[in-house]
Amino acid sequence: MKIGAWILAARPKTLPAAIAPVLVGTALAAHDGVLSVTPALICLAFALLIQVGTNFANDYFDFVQGADTQERIGPTRAVAAGLITPATMKRATIMVLGLAFIVGLSLVYWGGWWLVLVGVLSIICAVAYTGGPYPLGYNGLGDVFVFIFFGLVAVGFTYYVQAGVFSNIAWLLGAGVGALSVNLLVVNNYRDLETDRVAGKRTLVVRLGRAAAWRQYVGSVVLALGIPVGLALRGYGWTMLLPLGMVPLGIFLCILLRRAKSRDDFQLVLAQTAKLLLFYSGLLAVGLVL
């Protein structure tokens, strides 16, 4: 089987959602003088595996539940296109999420056995996002899942396994990262409104409409860029304002999403939204370290 099909199924453009929170949580640990490289790298590996496993599960369950059809204008999905069989994708999902559990288990050394519960919950939600008796993504809860697990949890616990304590600033930073991560989902659901509605996939965009989704996207950009301003005013230093260099891109993307019509338009918005998340997190990390 061609490696290209698996790369397609892994959805590389979504991987910044796994990298960004670990980067920010680790930068905060460095700022506080508690940086620990090994658990930080383990967190990164766990986050990437959870992201890929979620994408594999999404590819499988969306096909099984009829959400990926020929009418869909989004990027090609591996199972729907016949590049990977449903059974193979199901096995791959189990393998990747199983590996994520094994990798995450090593964090027990730094954070205690109760972290197993967090890991198990992360894996359950990765599957429940589009599978199970009450798929989160099909019932308007996908945004909540992404905000919590790829924002609050990922930043907060990356900091925790290095510092040994939780930090209110980590949760705040996690909210900014999570908001921009949710925007990746907003773009996908904004694009797939019509086909999702037909398939019975009741995302927030299907429930509330594209106008509300656009306002959500704009609000997330404003929230994310406002957080470093607040931290700078609280005495974290003016280097915290480095993420404001992303303001022009943020404005451009808000306009672009509103005008997007074709597959190419949405692919551009998605790719640039991922870039905004990664660059924002990188600048935020540099600001913290400096």
pLDDT at 70: 56
Query: How many other CB atoms are there within 10 angstroms of residue 216's CB atom?
Result: 21
In degrees, rounded to 5, the angle at the alpha carbon of residue 13 between the alpha carbons of residues 144 and 76 is: 95
pLDDT at 208: 94
Cβ-contact 225, 246 below 8 angstroms: yes
**156: three-class secondary structure by DSSP:** helix
pLDDT at 69: 60
Q: What range does the domain containing 188 cover?
A: 3-289
Nearest by Cα to 50 from 129, 141, 133: 129
pLDDT at 45: 97
**Tens digit of each residue's pLDDT (9 = 90 or more) over 168-218:** 999 999 999 999 999 999 999 999 898 888 888 899 999 999 999 999 999
**H helix intervals, 164-237:** 168-191, 193-199, 204-208, 210-231
Cβ-contact 224, 268 below 8 angstroms: no
What is the domain count for the chain? 1
pLDDT at 13: 85
Nearest by Cα to 222 from 146, 144, 138, 280: 280
Compute mean pLDDT per 10 residues along the chain, 290 residues long, and list them: 86 91 97 96 96 93 74 72 92 96 94 91 90 87 93 96 96 97 94 87 92 97 97 92 97 96 92 96 96
pLDDT at 64: 85
Q: What is the DSSP letter of 132?
A: S
